[in-house]
A and B are shown apart, each in its own frame.
Chain A
């Protein structure tokens, strides 16, 4: 437990990181550093997008799988790492 905390904290304290969210396979947030409404929104939307991206990758090559997804809006960058059961979302502002 402490390990998990420590790792997440390490990610969170990087320069420019706005927030981190841990989401389970169904899109329900487990742990977050942002406020509730934002978290719920991010979790729901990114969960769907990740599923779609993953299915795309696998359609192209069934032996392939999605490891990392980076979305770059104008204001900041969203990074998503999917797994079988969980999803980790990090939002970072790359350059001030």
Chain B
């Protein structure tokens, strides 16, 4: 009946509490005020009329005002429409009582300032004290009054829409009254004993109910197809192990092959099985070995045949062809060339040492003139035959000079006055290299030309002054005739013991001169002078030392103070005095190994030239720091002025008495040549084969064979002045003669005479040096007494070795050695025989003369002998039983 209003949270309850049954009194619908009151607005006139003026008659505390019905009606009648009460005229008329309550709605709760209570009950309620009840109800009603759209809905009768049917269907109700049953049993049947009996289930029908098993078809269905998805995945399994790694330890194993002990070997050798095996197998071996001996099946005859014929056509000309010749009118006039050297790295550059062509007396006489003419070493280049490329100035005539193998810019030379000279041409190297290609026009471009010697003319050949020279008193006392660099593999200590060379470059030089000395020099600063050198260096740093002649400072530490490291003298073996060497040859040397091609050499030198050694900083190390090398042979051959060949050791020994170092006596000495020995050279193919040339002959020696030369040539018509081995053929050597001829000796072809003779020049040949430019070009540099340098080309026949030439040569040398040995033996035997014979003769002579016997005595003796013989005969016959019985003998 009463519809409850939904509560509203925005209700504000104001002190107006109404009872729940007030709603029954007058239900509110829609409007914001209950039905039994009516809000109205009274004008001020009306308020005065009825005495309910706001805030004067009626106040908040006393809002009630009783109005008489009759007054209201009268007011309505008088003012009709204007009256405030007109809207509720009917209501007022319907009001049962006489007095109406007018409430001053101060707070405009119902929308107006006053409201009229329409029912008596409400009036009563208002006037009577109101108890606070049903707050919710009030709350409920309040919002509804607030929301009131000024329309209160009336409760309507419920219209059935059919929903109760569903409810009825769903609800559970009794469809019929509940039945009640009561079951009872006779009391005596309770607790009676129970009797069981058996009954066969099969007897009665339906005694049992059977549930027979049957094959359920559902389970025999075979699934023919099945749709499944398969995916392969790698079978991954992750596991881990823990290794216990503490620290790395290097281990090593050492093994050796299994071997049998001696007894076991003996046992094996004794066994039968081995015997059988060896016997059975030996025949196979015999066959095979013999096959090999008969012929070499793998030898390529075809190839070997072609080797000899490949030079067909060129073979016709076995002569040395003239390639070029160099003469300088300005520098080498009236002079002779004493030594030639090819530049090791730069192709086509050759250096010659030019010396005066005077005898000793003339030298002394003309010494003043000589001082003005400086001695020179000329550098020639193939590109410019007229002008030399470079001039090296020497303090005196140079008889021998060498390029340093490890640094081709360093040149060492030995002078006539016994000094050793060093040059450094590193400043002019580019020029030398450049002129090869450009033809000599670039000399002016090089502004390194020395200040002192710079001439006005641009085409002046540059002159390089020597940068270091040995002290005169320390050097040789005679002209240095041979100078060589020691190879960079070892160096020699103060005692002459070869030590390892830590630098790897050539730092030591060996010289010899006819003053009976062989000296070893070191181009590094000696150790003693280290402190002084440091001081000097400091001084140098203060003021940079100006080179007056533009000489490089490479060897400043040696200049004028250079002393030899070792002085080896050559005392004579039998007599007093010493040998005077002219040329020497060491086993490990740098002069004789030019068998490599230029490309190899250039490559090697390119490797080395990356690091140009700073010679000033090198120091001679103390002997204790270095390790002595065992396998270096310390013996050298020296050819002397008297035509002897001396074999000596350069190691120095210490004299116990005086503590001085002296050199041992040479071990061997051979007198061979009739004149000065002018060449001692080792073969580039055999390290122990030495060629010596002197006088009218030349000889070939083998190191270690002390009987004599293994080959000695016959005397030639003219003196032999110089000799050299061929660089490419082990059997060929070149001999230069006094008359300008070159003899080419091919030892495999002919040994009694040269295989070829060719005339090169009109005067004596002073030096021969071959050089391998490329595999197709071998050159021979020949210098003569007039100062001309000839370059000859070696023909194919003389430069390409025949097959097995080296082997043949070694065999030949061995044969010669055997011959020598045989001769020696024979000689000994002969000597012995002779001795015996002589002894025999002597013995015979010294025997006492036996007096001649008398004839009778002789006869007597003879008769006695005969009788003795007869008796002997009878005795023997008797023994043999051949003699008939003596009784029966008839005399």
Interface of A with B (CB < 8 Å)?
A: 1, 3-4, 7-8, 10-11, 14-17, 22, 24, 26-31, 40, 43-44, 67-68, 70, 72, 77, 79, 81, 83, 85-86, 88, 90, 92, 94-96
Contact = CB atoms under 8 A, between A and B. Distances in A.
Interface stretch (B277-285, B310-318, B381-389, B429-437): B277-285
Contacts of B285: 11, 79, 81, 88, 90
A30 B265 contact: yes
B293 A88 contact: no
B332 to A, nearest CB: 51
Which 7 pairs between the two chains have the least Cβ-Cβ distance?
A95-B296, A94-B292, A81-B281, A40-B257, A14-B289, A30-B268, A83-B277
B277 A7 contact: no
Interface string B286-307: 1011101101101100000000
B298 A85 contact: no
A63 B707 CA distance: 65
Contacts of A77: 292
B277 to A, nearest CB: 5
B274 interface: yes
21 contacts: A1-B270, A7-B278, A8-B278, A11-B285, A11-B286, A28-B259, A30-B274, A31-B265, A31-B269, A40-B259, A43-B257, A68-B288, A70-B288, A77-B292, A79-B289, A81-B281, A81-B285, A85-B277, A86-B278, A88-B281, A94-B296
Contacts of A11: 282, 285-286, 289
Given A16-B293, A24-B268, A94-B292, A86 B273 contact: yes
A68 B570 CA distance: 63
Given A88-B281, A92-B292, 18 more contacts: A1-B270, A4-B274, A11-B282, A14-B289, A14-B290, A24-B268, A29-B260, A30-B265, A30-B269, A40-B257, A40-B259, A68-B288, A70-B288, A79-B289, A81-B284, A85-B277, A88-B278, A90-B285
Interface in B239-283: 257-260, 265, 268-270, 273-275, 277-282
Contacts of A70: 288
B289 A90 contact: yes
B293 A7 contact: no
Contacts of A14: 286, 289-290, 293
B277 A88 contact: yes
Interface in B503-555: none
A12 B299 CA distance: 24
A22 B273 CA distance: 13
Nearest to B290: A14
A88 B284 CA distance: 11
Nearest to B273: A85
B278 A4 contact: yes
A15 B293 contact: yes
Given A70-B288, A81-B281, A3 B260 contact: no
A52 B275 CA distance: 25
A16 B274 CA distance: 25
B556 to A, nearest CB: 54
Interface in B582-633: none
Contacts of A79: 285, 288-289
A56 to B, nearest CB: 19
Nearest to A32: B265
A81 B295 CA distance: 21
B260 A95 contact: no
B292 A29 contact: no
B289 A7 contact: no
Interface string B412-424: 0000000000000
Contacts of A81: 281, 284-285
Task: Pick from A24, A72, A81 the residue with the most CB of B within 10 Å.
Answer: A81
A17 B289 contact: yes
B282 A26 contact: no
B288 A7 contact: no
B279 A3 contact: yes
Given A11-B285, A77-B292, A30 B260 contact: yes
Nearest to A81: B281
Contacts of B279: 3, 7
Contact of A68 (B268, B274, B278, B284): B284
Contacts of A85: 273, 277
A94 B155 CA distance: 143
Contacts of B290: 14
A94 B265 contact: no
A93 B259 CA distance: 27
B202 to A, nearest CB: 83
Given A11-B289, A88-B278, A88-B285, A4 B269 contact: yes
B275 to A, nearest CB: 5
B225 to A, nearest CB: 54
B226 to A, nearest CB: 53
Contacts of B268: 24, 30
A51 B279 CA distance: 21
A89 to B, nearest CB: 10
A26 B285 CA distance: 22
A76 to B, nearest CB: 9
Given A17-B289, A83-B277, A67 B265 contact: no
A29 B260 CA distance: 8
